[in-house]
Structure 1
């Protein structure tokens, strides 16, 4: 398991390479929820998502390698491409056909090779494993990796510095790297704090695995929260047990509820992808009402502009 010491070490390793993102109080969501709701603006991170924290920490710990590779739904791949470029390393990012084109192009713009493989993140992982086995690449998975989890956990250190009275943190949940890291750090510092995972109803692999008591395969389906898609890996070693043991509650949302969250955050001046809007969506749907103060992590900004425009027009 990843613990506080590893998260504190990660903070030192990534200092200067990753932004400390701001928090802001949402008056509208606070009124709706009946208590203080704070937004952690991680969508303003370099590369537009929290994934830069874990990728930077993982790459910083590498020795001599031919390059780096991963399978990604987009944001981790972009973060790894950025971190690799900073180290002068070749990066090959493997993705399925479900990854939005804007995320693929953003990875290529950072000088990485984007390989489109199959119809799921699991398919893409097969290619990444081949690169690691045959060409000497370091495989940096998007969540089930101690350095990645520790890097994501630095978010909790910032949140508790910025909102020290926080009673709960709502965390977008996919493979569990973000929730595992945030929960490990936050609960070590504040054992009473509640960690609430939020995902979509369509293809939520971690939710299905928790219900089954072990990692299971789940069909990857198109969703507005595309960053939350993909499996957790049948051989998951870290994030499944950490999420199981550290998460206090889990909320699953419909596509309409996620769309409402995206539109609301746009009205507050925050252009975010569906995965980043799930906390606000849960509040607006009456699914999340404290304890307070409540901090929502806006995890990423990398929504396709045309899709965002269509959602706003449909309001």
Structure 2
């Protein structure tokens, strides 16, 4: 296990430390000159990879560690070993000799002037979204496949991916005249399937989720003698991604902080391995979605963990467990990791569009969202780089992104007010809002009162606070729902009153985007339990979120949730949501 040999440590807040210790901060680590000397000495040393893990990984929830905007998460580091330096030297050599430019370009580094002015720092975008497959993934896939023997290429390769890695392997196979089989979940959007086929890949649609697809690909590789090309957890894949680090050091050697998106960790591992060997004073900070924070939780515990569920909004970085090779590098070398929320990612997409007129996919904007949050929280004013890692956007997703982008940029707030149902009260409500523009509202009478769910355009938090204070002064009870995901994705699109439904509970379930999936789900519920309300909308992802109300007596709740467990779909009980209780409860 990776945690072997760790000293005892004080656990991070809310987490259990196991045989782990907090390594000293960057300033107290090996000096720059000593690191450089040892690196030169070990440049030809063989790479010692982490031992294979045996057993079950610790299962954790994304909510087990919640960070504030721009807050650096805790990192439990192992004691330094001689093999660390040998590993670092191997990666520097592998990165410098990686041959990726047959298929990749040296992507430009561009200043984002509007975003820089808004944040107060000089933010540069490393435009990996401009690669031939619109993602950095081509670098690692090609570098790995370039290492194969002629015999291995003749037999062919296989991989499992629902997106950017799939296209990287397909194009690499075309360039190297190597048959490439791409296993993709059956829920993969058609646009991504067609992109892989257009690049010459042979697509196999297998499994409803990535775990099932990956298992199929590895089994077929073993059975047919194919080479499995990992999406991130392989030294040559990591080295290929590390060429991004070589480029940014040449393009902007005066950079102070570099923000890198993290999913499995291949890009971050490759970049930090090179940058810390060459310029250890430059800070490298990883960024993950708050709902897909496998690396954040793994670093906090000092061991690799597996998420019980993953928010798939930024599907390109939505992994349940980080790579083992990636984790070993990142754990010892990265300066920190932060998380960003869905609306912050959407806001970052809008920011990049404002400066470049290019549209990033959600995963491609994660580092930009992290750079914004960190710089604003810590008052950074220097030169900052954010890697825009991909632009394979499903057009259907733009609707949802445009709706929540202003929330993430703190340019819009969603409020819920309860006002008396009397003549003239609604007019008084509108007058109380004042000069602030109302971008959306829904009004519904419920007995002696009315509920008003509305969004207002704001310039800062004071606008929200002032509006709420004016409402409360008139006796209009008001709550801020700007950060409530259930409101943003579902309830703001629903109009209705309290149905006085007995024993009503609210659940949110993730259902694969394929024909018949909803019907299969309903078979588990009907006819024993009565559904009282539903809301669903396709956001262009591989899974859709269905919000539904159901009548379940308290004594039957355990049986009902066992039934939900049996359907195999991930779900959350949302019955205590304040917006639901106020609007529909």
TM > 0.5: yes
> Structure 1 residue aligned with 2:118, among 19, 32, 38?
32
Q: Which residue of 1 aligns with 2:131?
A: 45
Contact (CA 8 Å) 1:168, 1:290: kept in 2 or not? no
Task: Say which SS state the counterpart of residue 306 (structure 2) adopts.
Answer: coil
Contact (CA 8 Å) 2:259, 2:370: kept in 1 or not? no
> Structure 1 residue aligned with 2:342, among 250, 255, 258?
255
Q: Which has the larger radius of gyration?
A: 2
> Structure 1 residue aligned with 2:277, among 170, 188, 210?
188
CA distance in structure 1 between the partners assigned to 2:334 and 2:167 by the alignment: 27
Q: Which residue of 2 aligns with 1:303?
A: 393
Structure 2: any 5+ residue segments left out of the alignment?
1-86, 407-585
> What is the root-mean-square deviation of aligned Cα atoms in Å?
2.0
Runs of 4+, deviation exceeding 4 Å: none
> Structure 1 residue aligned with 2:364, among 263, 267, 276?
276
Cα gap change, 1:304 to 1:213, in 2 (>3 Å):
same
Contact (CA 8 Å) 1:283, 1:289: kept in 2 or not? no
Cα deviation 1:12-49 (Å, max 9, x = unaligned): x2233210111111112222332211111110001010
Cα deviation 1:128-154 (Å, max 9, x = unaligned): 111210011111101110110000000
Q: Which residue of 2 aligns with 1:223?
A: 312
> Structure 1 residue aligned with 2:100, among 4, 7, 14?
14
CA distance in structure 2 between the partners assigned to 1:300 and 1:188 by the alignment: 26
Structure 1: any 5+ residue segments left out of the alignment?
none
Displacement of 1:263 in angstroms is 1.5
The structure carrying a bigger strand percent of its residues is: 2
Displacement of 1:290 in angstroms is 3.9
> Structure 2 residue aligned with 1:131, among 196, 220, 228?
220
Q: Which moved more, 1:161-170 or 1:30-39?
A: 30-39
CA distance in structure 1 between the partners assigned to 2:135 and 2:230 by the alignment: 16
Cα gap change, 1:152 to 1:109, in 2 (>3 Å):
same
Contact (CA 8 Å) 1:94, 1:117: kept in 2 or not? yes
Task: Say which SS state the counterpart of residue 47 (structure 1) adopts.
Answer: coil
Displacement of 1:302 in angstroms is 0.3
Task: Say which SS state the counterpart of residue 46 (structure 1) adopts.
Answer: coil
Contact (CA 8 Å) 1:275, 1:299: kept in 2 or not? yes
Task: Say which SS state the counterpart of residue 252 (structure 1) adopts.
Answer: strand
Q: Which moved more, 1:185-194 or 1:28-37?
A: 28-37
CA distance in structure 1 between the partners assigned to 2:187 and 2:392 by the alignment: 15
Cα gap change, 1:132 to 1:185, in 2 (>3 Å):
same
Q: Which residue of 2 aligns with 1:168?
A: 257
Displacement of 1:267 in angstroms is 1.7
Q: Which moved more, 1:140-149 or 1:70-79?
A: 70-79
Relative contact order higher in (CA < 8 Å, ≥ 6 apart): 1
CA distance in structure 2 between the partners assigned to 1:140 and 1:32 by the alignment: 41
Q: Which residue of 2 aligns with 1:109?
A: 198
Task: Say which SS state the counterpart of residue 3 (structure 1) adopts.
Answer: helix
CA distance in structure 1 between the partners assigned to 2:112 and 2:287 by the alignment: 19
Task: Say which SS state the counterpart of residue 48 (structure 1) adopts.
Answer: coil
Task: Say which SS state the counterpart of residue 231 (structure 2) adopts.
Answer: coil
Aligned length: 311
Displacement of 1:292 in angstroms is 2.7
Contact (CA 8 Å) 1:208, 1:216: kept in 2 or not? yes
Contact (CA 8 Å) 1:220, 1:229: kept in 2 or not? no
Displacement of 1:102 in angstroms is 2.4
CA distance in structure 1 between the partners assigned to 2:371 and 2:92 by the alignment: 29
> Structure 1 residue aligned with 2:327, among 236, 240, 250?
240
